[in-house]
Amino acid sequence: MAKVAEHLADLAQGAGEHTEESLHRRASEMHRFFDDVEELLRKVSNVDDADIARLRNKVEGSIERVKGATRYSLEQALEGTRRAARATDDYVHENPWTAIGVTAAAGLVAGALISRR
């Protein structure tokens, strides 16, 4: 019983780590996007057109706001993922038979759905 509980806890932790990796990948993609836009803004920074200067300032402000919101959202998502993984781990250790039953039921449902095809 303890080994099954540990295995389920490991699965929960692995799922949390996978979610964290996915969030970090998306954050990295957003970071590259911001870098590209900032590079574009640097390239047009020496253009003396007033409309371009106004638009550049507006885009720079927007980038800073979106960066802050993205950073905050990522931190919240990571913390939520960590809390969920800890709660699942705690629950599995405290209620191993319930966790085994839920896992078995989910396996039966998945098996039934797969066998229909």
Whole-number Å distance between alpha carbons of 84 and 72: 18
Separation in Å, CA 95 to CA 14, 84, 103, 109, 111: 19, 16, 12, 21, 24
Whole-number Å distance between alpha carbons of 88 and 53: 52
- pLDDT of residue 31 exceeding 70, the answer is yes
Whole-number Å distance between alpha carbons of 58 and 41: 11
Q: Which two tokens stand for residue 91?
A: 């629950």
pLDDT in tens, 32-75: 888 888 888 888 777 778 888 788 888 888 888 888 888 888 88
pLDDT in tens, 62-109: 888 888 888 888 888 888 888 888 888 888 888 888 888 888 888 899
Whole-number Å distance between alpha carbons of 26 and 4: 33
CB 114 within 8 A of CB 20: no
Letter string b/e over residues 66-83, b meaning 16 or more CB atoms within 10 A of that residue's CB:
eeeebeeeeeebbeebee
- pLDDT of residue 11 exceeding 70, the answer is no
Q: Which SS3 state, helix, strand or coil, does residue 1 take?
A: coil
Predicted pLDDT of residue 14: 63
